[in-house]
Amino acid sequence: MPYSSFASMPCTLSRPAALLGERWTLLLLRQIFLGTRRFEDFQATMDISRSVLTDRLNVLLQENVLKRVPYHEDGRTRHEYRLTEKGRDLYPVLMALRTWGEKWMAPEEEESFHLHHRDCGGGVRAKVECTECAAELTARDVQVTAKQ
């Protein structure tokens, strides 16, 4: 079973994991959420090779995580990469990574960006919760049952 075939496994976790578990994809999404939209800017800020950048952008376009949007500059039409609704919905994944990174991989100095809620100025964190009782859940609170 090659790595890519996880993309077709009947598991709601393994397919996203196969997509985002490709080299550069998570870092690319991080840049996009930070506002980067153009090929040259991805190349400059991440220093990814151009061919791999092309490939990753195309995969995300195909998966409908990104869309190409035309814009005008200096009188000519170009395209930029923007998140679709599906792409914007990946925000909790990135925030879960950040929340984890802050707790467990933070260096001595503090983080380089501050995130806060526009309305109230509070901090931001990812969590898992029960859809019924709204309790915060850890792996131990969750029972896994194979579907019959």
Partner DNA sequence: TCCCTTGCGTTCGATTTTCGAACTCAGCTA
Partner DNA sequence: TAGCTGAGTTCGAAAATCGAACGCAAGGGA
H or E element in which residue 83 lies: strand 76-83
Distance (Å, rounded) from C-alpha 32 to C-alpha 87? 10
Sign, CA torsion 57/59/63/69: positive
- By CB under 8 A, the residues from 34 to 73 that bind a second copy are 34-35, 46-47
Q: How many residues bind a second copy (CB under 8 A)?
A: 85
Nearer to a second copy, 21 or 71 (CB): 21
Q: How many residues does the chain have?
A: 148
Binding mask 63-82 for DNA (x = CB under 7 A): -----------xxx-xxx--
Q: Is 16 in the site for a second copy (CB under 8 A)?
A: yes
Nearer to a second copy, 21 or 68 (CB): 21
Side-chain-side CA neighbours of 31 within 13 Å: the count stands at 22
Q: How many residues bind DNA (CB under 7 A)?
A: 26
Q: CB count, 10 Å around CB of 106?
A: 10
25-33 and 91-104 are packed helices; what angle lies between their axes, rounded to 10 degrees? 100
Q: Is 129 in the site for DNA (CB under 7 A)?
A: no
- By CB under 7 A, the residues from 6 to 35 that bind DNA are 22-24
Q: Footprint of DNA on this chain (CB under 7 A)?
A: 1-4, 22-24, 38-41, 47-52, 54-55, 57, 74-76, 78-80
